[in-house]
A and B are shown apart, each in its own frame.
Chain A
Amino acid sequence: MNRRFDHEELGEGAGREELLGIARELEALGRADVGVPIRDFADRVMRAVERERRPSPIGAFGAALLGGSPRGAVAAVAVAWRLATRAGRAVPLAVRAQALAFVLVVAVAAVGTGTLAVAGAAQVLGGSGILFPSGPTPSPTLTIQPTPTLEPIPIPTPEATPSTSPSPAAEPSPTLSAEPSETAEPGETAEPGDTAEPSETPSAKPSAEPSETPKPSPTPRPSPTPTPEPGESSASPDASGSETADRDAG
């Protein structure tokens, strides 16, 4: 009844004798008398089956999809194809047509889904420049930008040589600021703007602090006394200023 376990079934490996002992134990369990099935077992099964719907590849396909079994879904399509293409008149025409229609619908759906997936992937990858690095997206930027960028570049370069001199440094800024209004390159305009702002900020910070410090300027009123004024009078506002700065920082 039970086919005997052959030691070659174990293949190569250590401890084969021990494993063979375990296999013999399992074999003995498999040889045990399992009794005879009850007489109406087939009737019981058929009664249970009568409550079920007729099995079909379509139903099996849906169940496989719901159960997350792609192998089952593929198998259902294969069975439907087998039914549709079975030779002879063995399969009724209605069942054959249904199976064929199912296969066609699945094929069309698969092709459509695949096309959409490829198009979506191409859009995603192409938009980020991964899939088509020399694609159509860079070309418009290159065609638009060269004309403006080429125009500003020649203008600053001749003016850049005079800008090395200290005074004309302010002159390139209006020329550059006028040109960016035509072109869309704020990168160059921002640089002179930034250079202008820092030039204001260093002057602004000391001017702001002394504007508060003039309050202590009344302190020089007693200074008209003959004592040496400049060292002490200048020291006291600085000290007060440093204290206020510390407080502000604190």
Chain B
Amino acid sequence: MVTWGDDSRGGRDGESGTLASSARAAVSAHDPAGGPPIDAVRGDDQALVDAILAGDRDAFRIIVERESRTVIGACSRILGSMVEAEDVAQEAFVIAYRALGTYRGEGALGGWLTRIAVRLALRRSGQRREVTWIDPHADFASTAAGRSLRGGDPAVLHAAEERAGAVRSAVAGLPDSYREIVALRFFGDLSLNEIAATTGRPLGTVKTQLHRGLARLRDRLGPEFAS
């Protein structure tokens, strides 16, 4: 649940306080598990963004608290490291804050943020590939396998982590357009409709690029992964 904190911060500048408080009320009524209508979410998003553009910087905290788990999760799945994922997610939020003046509200704000974060994470992943061989297990404790190491067979978990690393490397090696779609679908957990709205591409194009991206992955990973 979103926590806002001190009300005096949001309502300090009269009119923008009205907007921020309405956005705040809308967000506090927003239940992620319940799945509100997408138009309502868009309205909330636009109200929040307009409040920030009108000078209410603290309204951005609502967005951060609401979307941080999704954004960090997407980065973590791409990078395989929680520490790195948080760094990338923080960078993504700062970039999004700078670019709020271009958010038109065509897709959900969460999808827009996830797209920025996924692109940053993929770029980081692509840069990191050459360095990985120096110390591949340096951040193993923060990975999914590392966290569950206490209760499982280390060899099995290590094999699973290697398999996951192979898949991540294969995704990072895809051409840009396929890579983004695959990452948004499977790591960013967006539906194809959301991806189409976020990227501004037609749904048919998104489907085609997903199909081709998976075909490239099959060729890279081999039949062992495709079975």
Contacts and interface: CB of A to CB of B under 8 A. Distances in A.
Interface string A73-104: 00110111011001011111101000000000
Interface in A11-46: 11, 13, 15, 18-19, 21-23, 25-27, 29-30, 32-38, 41-42, 44-46
15 contacts: A2-B189, A3-B191, A9-B210, A10-B210, A19-B214, A34-B82, A37-B69, A38-B86, A57-B102, A58-B101, A79-B103, A90-B18, A90-B19, A90-B47, A95-B54
A198 to B, nearest CB: 70
A23 B60 CA distance: 35
Interface in B173-227: 182, 185-187, 189, 191-192, 200, 207-208, 210-211, 214-215, 217-218, 221, 223, 225-227
B53 A56 contact: yes
B191 A90 contact: no
A60 B98 CA distance: 7
A61 to B, nearest CB: 7
What interface size band does chain B fall in?
35 or more
B104 interface: yes
Contacts of B191: 3
Given A30-B186, A30-B187, A60-B99, A15 B61 contact: no
Contacts of A93: 15
Given A21-B225, A35-B142, 18 more contacts: A10-B214, A22-B217, A26-B186, A29-B164, A29-B167, A30-B77, A33-B147, A37-B89, A45-B90, A48-B93, A55-B101, A57-B101, A58-B101, A75-B103, A89-B15, A91-B19, A92-B13, A92-B15
Q: Which 9 A-B pairs have the closest CB atoms?
A: A60-B101, A90-B19, A26-B186, A32-B144, A18-B226, A75-B102, A57-B101, A34-B76, A55-B100
Q: Taking each of A3, A22, A36, A90, which has the highest tally of chain B beta carbons within 10 Å of its own beta carbon?
A: A22
Contacts of B189: 1-3, 30
Given A5-B186, A19-B211, A41-B86, A82 B94 contact: no
Nearest to B102: A75
A49 interface: yes
A32 B61 CA distance: 27
A21 B55 contact: no
Contacts of A83: 50, 53-54
Contacts of B89: 37, 41
B214 A41 contact: no
A245 interface: no
Interface residues of A, number: 62
Nearest to B92: A45
B38 to A, nearest CB: 15
A46 B60 CA distance: 8
User: Which of B22, B86, B99, B214 counts the most chain A CB atoms within 10 A?
Assistant: B214
A50 interface: yes
Given A19-B211, A29-B168, A92-B55, A34 B101 contact: no
Contacts of A79: 53, 101-104
A34 B72 contact: yes
Contacts of B171: 26
B72 A23 contact: no
A63 interface: yes
A239 to B, nearest CB: 80
Contacts of B208: 11
A205 interface: no
Nearest to A16: B211
B26 interface: no
A55 B215 CA distance: 41
B70 to A, nearest CB: 10
A90 B97 contact: no
A96 to B, nearest CB: 9
Nearest to B215: A19
Contacts of B86: 37-38, 41
Contacts of B28: none
A103 to B, nearest CB: 13
B215 A15 contact: yes
B127 interface: no
A64 interface: yes
